[in-house]
Amino acid sequence: GQNIDQPTEMTATEGAIVQINCTYQTSGFNGLFWYQQHAGEAPTFLSYNVLDGLEEKGRFSSFLSRSKGYSYLLLKELQMKDSASYLCAVRDSSGGSYIPTFGRGTSLIVHP
């Protein structure tokens, strides 16, 4: 199984940059996902990392270090609509199921 740890809550100012960290422990790492979930809605896919390094997609970037069991999601030029929960999910290949396990999520509050 996996242990996934991410901060419960973060606050940031509109226009700023925020970094949401995720650490994990897994026996057979096979990819890490980030999802955004607005209150009362389903999660939507943001990014996927399987190799070390930074993946950039517009205002959002995701970084992975497999040796450290560490990832972060970087949000630039924050907007009020970025207020949401951000879920880190890790896929484990052990057991053959390849199903991601989700962390509890980080609630990001963006204020003016």
- 98: contact with another protein by CB under 8 A: yes
Token look-up 């199984």 returns: 1
- 102: contact with another protein by CB under 8 A: yes
The residue within the footprint of another protein, chosen from 14, 41, 52, 56 (CB under 8 A), is 41
- 108: contact with another protein by CB under 8 A: no
The residue within the footprint of another protein, chosen from 12, 75, 87, 110 (CB under 8 A), is 87
Residues 6+ apart with CB under 8 A from 96: none
- The residue ranges of DSSP E strands in the chain, in sequence order, are 3-5, 9-13, 18-25, 29-37, 44-49, 53-57, 60-65, 70-75, 84-92, 100-102, 106-111
Nearest to 106 by CA among 66, 71, 69: 71
Closer by beta carbon to another protein, 8 or else 112: 8
Closer by beta carbon to another protein, 16 or else 54: 54
- Binding residues for another protein, rule: CB under 8 A, are 31, 33, 41-45, 48, 87, 89, 91, 97-105
